[in-house]
Amino acid sequence: MLKKVKNNLKNDQLNPIMLKFLLKPFFLFLTLLYCAAPIKAQTKAADESTKTLRVGVAGSEPFVFENTNTGISVEIWDKIAEKKAWSYEYVPFKNVEDVLLALNKGNVDLVVGPISITAKRLETMRFSQPFYNSSISIISRIDNLSLWEKFKPLFSLKLLIAVGIFLIILAIVGSLFWLAERKKSPEQFPHKPLQGIGTGMWLAIVTMSTTGYGDKAPITVMGRIIAGTWMVVTIVFATSMIAGIASTLTLSSIGSTTISTVEQLSGKKAATISGSPSEAFLTKAKAKVIGVGNLAEAIEKLENKDVEAVVFDRPQLLYYLKNNENENLYISKAEYYKQGYGFAFPGNSQLILDVNRTLLELSENQETEKIIHTYIQKDE
């Protein structure tokens, strides 16, 4: 038999029966290898879930309460672990930056807290599906404006440019009056350019304001055409300019130092928690970023007028204002940078699938919503 196989191999000929006989062990090996992969993964997942998990905890209220193992994130994790019968122990950290560093070093098995799911973080770790959708908002003071702050808009660059353009227009109109009237009415419009153009500008201002002193008046046809045209133009121009100045003064007199949009942050000092996505948000808004360790420290800087705004995640800001009544603080209606909160895992963790499945179950049963609304009201 062996000799026959050798002869067939030598002649590059194998009958179907012989080929099947030779390939059968090879296919059997591939089948065993394929089946062993998921078994190995399942075994690894089982080993990971049966050990006592080291759960890193960090974040701000109402998602994590320091030294109490309570909060939205913690209670949701407790529900998941209870349903999966997992054993775990909490490892507290001062801030999110530190706990994520510990996760990457392998010092904890997962991270629980208000961990924003960002593209940059996905480069080094994995996340569960979001259990809460958040956004960034702005808190500022409600202070009455000082006398200088009320009149400051009148000295803005835009207004100064507008006044400059207006003076140029007056000079052009004054020059036209002088050119039209200087020969026929030299007593009103002297031949000297400086005096003649000045007189023309005076006539343009009197005409525009409808004061009508009568001390100067064009006597030539061209002069009257210029005066008539100027009157028609200034009916709209003067009205709009006066209305703009009046509205600026009115708004300034009743204004306050509140910041309601991201555009108002440009060039202003704004505090946020170091390492949070709000830092990148403020940098993009061209604000002067002041990093702090926690939200209470940021609010303290705002109240002491060290910064002009605090920018951070909206639910934490709402919770702080709810539990620390302060009539001098205002939270903007605008929301920016929508982001989800999830639990963070190492890249090779086998727990993510079970956590996601349980999160879906909690959501479908309204359990997640009940936990969230214990701390944050529905209308917020």
Pairing of strands 329-331, 132-141: antiparallel
Positive or negative, the CA dihedral 271, 274, 278, 284 is positive
- Cβ neighbour number for residue 30 with a 10 Å cutoff: 10
- Helix (H) / strand (E) element for 270: namely strand 269-273
Token digits for 201?
A: 């500008």
Residue 17: which pLDDT band, with cuts at 50, 70 and 90?
low
Domain boundaries of the chain, sorted by first residue: 2-36, 37-133+342-375, 148-254, 257-337
Residue 175: is it exposed, middle or buried by C-beta count within 10 angstroms (0-12/13-18/19+)? Answer: middle
Residue 163: which pLDDT band, with cuts at 50, 70 and 90?
confident
Q: Is the pLDDT confidence value at 373 over 50?
A: yes
Q: Which CATH architecture has domain 37-133+342-375?
A: 3-Layer(aba) Sandwich (3.40)
Q: Is the pLDDT confidence value at 322 over 80?
A: yes
Residue 100 near residue 378 (C-beta atoms within 8 A)? no
> What is the DSSP annotation of 342-377?
EEEE-TT-S-HHHHHHHHHHHHHTTHHHHHHHHHS-
136, 149, 163, 257 from 145: Cα distances, Å? 26, 6, 25, 7
Short-list 98, 138, 137, 96, CA closest to 117? 96
Residue 104 near residue 96 (C-beta atoms within 8 A)? no
Q: What percent of the chain has pLDDT over 70?
A: 77
1, 8, 13, 29, 165 from 17: Cα distances, Å? 13, 12, 12, 19, 99
213, 227, 285, 316 from 216: Cα distances, Å? 8, 11, 54, 68
- Rounded to whole angstroms, the Cα distance separating 342 from 100 reads 13
- For residues 219-237, average pLDDT: 85
Cis peptide before 62 (omega within 30 of 0): yes
**Would 148-254 and 257-337 be classified into the same CATH topology?**
no
The answer for residues whose C-beta is within 8 angstroms of residue 305's C-beta and 6 or more apart is 141
Pairing of strands 132-141, 269-273: unpaired
Q: Say what the pLDDT of residue 88 is.
A: 96
Fold of 148-254: Helix Hairpins (1.10.287)
With the CA atoms of 287, 291, 292 and 295 taken in that order, what torsion angle do they form, in degrees rounded to the nearest 10? 40
pLDDT tens per residue, range 124-150: 999 999 999 989 999 998 876 666 656
- Rounded to whole angstroms, the Cα distance separating 58 from 92 reads 6
- Rounded to whole angstroms, the Cα distance separating 180 from 266 reads 50
The more confidently predicted of residues 30 and 192 is 192
Rg over alpha carbons for the chain, rounded to the nearest Å, is 38
Short-list 256, 246, 272, 376, CA closest to 319? 376
Homologous superfamily of domain range 257-337: Periplasmic binding protein-like II (3.40.190.10)
Positive or negative, the CA dihedral 225, 229, 234, 237 is negative
Matching residue, tokens 């998602």: 63
- Rounded to whole angstroms, the Cα distance separating 316 from 302 reads 16
What letter represents residue 77's amino acid?
W
* pTM above threshold 0.75: no
pLDDT tens per residue, range 233-292: 887 776 676 666 666 555 555 455 688 899 989 999 999 998 888 998 999 999 999 999
